[in-house]
Amino acid sequence: MRNKRISIKDIAEKANVSIASVSRVISNKPGVGKDTEKRIRSIMDELGYKPNINARSLVKKNTGNIGVIIPGGFTTLQNSFFLTIIEGISKIIDTTEYNLIISFTSKQHEKMLDTNIVDGILVLAPRENEINLQWLSDLKLPTVIIGSFIDDSNFDIVSADEKSGVRFSVEELYKKNHRHIALINGPSTSYQSKIYEQGYKSIVNELGLEKYILELDEFDIKGQEQLVEEFLNDHKEITGMICSSDNIALGIINVAKELNIDIPGQLSIIGSDDTPVSHLITPKLSTTHVDLKEIGETAVTRLLIRLSNEKEELRRMNCIFPMKYIERETTTFLK
């Protein structure tokens, strides 16, 4: 049998105060003496009282929910890039009374936003074919974009400096005498992929190198191993690869091993974002580091600021986190 839910009335009776006084304490409103407040809070702890968020939401005219839009369907759960950012988001949410509602598909995105069940949203690495940013802007819902810098955006943006990350990677391989350097990229519908490609083309043009680009359907190679194998066989001159995610890099390493390509002796590989997987594989992955947890924490903190200042016109914020190259075991000097 379930235990009876403790109500405000129960707290008031035990503290010998009015229900209004208990309500003021719960809502952090003035009008209750310090000793009385202390007694009320002590009884709340003693009885294990939990505020009814739904009831309070009706009073405040909000939902108590924050939406998180994640691209790529449920396969995204296998990508530690998204999981690490969500870990940062959750750390901050745990200090508030908000709940997280996570959406993985276009239909789920539309349902969540059309039914007004969230007060604000965090959009991770958006894709053109999954969510219309103009429609999102027209909703006038507090929104923060994570992981993709978008020019002329109306939204707050918190992202890694991915163009610099790609530049650092290509420059490192160039310093190691590599002259045939490829980019293995995610889907072209992803704004994140577009940034990687822009950064790659820019530095390759500066160095006068030939361009090699393989576009995948996702930020890993699962189900696309044959495509990667054909690319490696068709371009045996390639000695260096820049990958737009650590997951892609891990997949490349596995395919290269199947083809008896020595890593890094014949092929140097660099990932992106320094996710936990980069430390777990053998050889350990060279990559570009950014603090993904802090990106998540910063994004949700910014959204909370917007939610607490909805009546004020806040300036749009671009928060771009620096990236740095991390040398490990998948890169070497080309002899």
Q: Are residues 116 and 167 in the same domain?
A: no
In a domain, 177, yes or no: yes
Are residues 109 and 126 in contact, defined by beta-carbon separation less than 8 angstroms? no
Q: What's the Rg (C-alpha) of the chain? A: 25
Q: Are residues 150 and 177 in the same domain?
A: no
Distances (CA, A) of 16 to 13, 33, 45, 46: 5, 14, 16, 15
pLDDT of residue 4: 60
Q: Are residues 169 and 284 in the same domain?
A: yes
The domain that holds 28 is classified in CATH as 1.10.260.40
In a domain, 335, yes or no: no
pLDDT of residue 2: 40
Of 73-87, 121-135, 178-192, 270-284, the range with the lowest mean pLDDT is 73-87
Say if residue 3's pLDDT is above 60: no
pLDDT of residue 183: 98
What is the mean pLDDT of the segment spanning 258-267? Answer: 96
Distance CA 266, CA 268 (A): 7
In a domain, 222, yes or no: yes
Number of domain units in the chain: 3
Q: Are residues 15 and 88 in the same domain?
A: no
Distance CA 320, CA 273 (A): 14
Q: Are residues 266 and 285 in the same domain?
A: yes
Q: Are residues 136 and 166 in the same domain?
A: no
Of 112-116, 203-207, 259-263, the range with the lowest mean pLDDT is 112-116
Q: Are residues 265 and 170 in the same domain?
A: yes
| Angle at alpha carbon of residue 230, lines to 229 and 235, rounded to 5° | 105
Q: Are residues 265 and 247 in the same domain?
A: yes
Q: Are residues 217 and 278 in the same domain?
A: yes
In a domain, 139, yes or no: yes
The domain that holds 227 is classified in CATH as 3.40.50.2300
Does the pTM surpass 0.85? The reply is: no
Tens-digit pLDDT profile for residues 238-248? 999 999 999 99
Tens-digit pLDDT profile for residues 141-196? 999 999 988 877 889 999 999 999 999 999 999 999 999 999 999 999 999 999 99
Tens-digit pLDDT profile for residues 60-98? 457 889 999 998 887 777 788 999 999 999 999 999 989
In a domain, 219, yes or no: yes
Say if residue 199's pLDDT is above 80: yes
Q: Are residues 239 and 306 in the same domain?
A: no
* Residue ranges making up the domain that contains 19: 8-51
In a domain, 3, yes or no: no
Residue 47: band (very low, low, confident or very high) from pLDDT cuts 50, 70, 90: confident
Q: Are residues 140 and 169 in the same domain?
A: no
Q: Are residues 150 and 254 in the same domain?
A: no
What is the mean pLDDT of the segment spanning 200-214? Answer: 98
What is the mean pLDDT of the segment spanning 273-291? Answer: 93
In a domain, 302, yes or no: yes
In a domain, 282, yes or no: yes
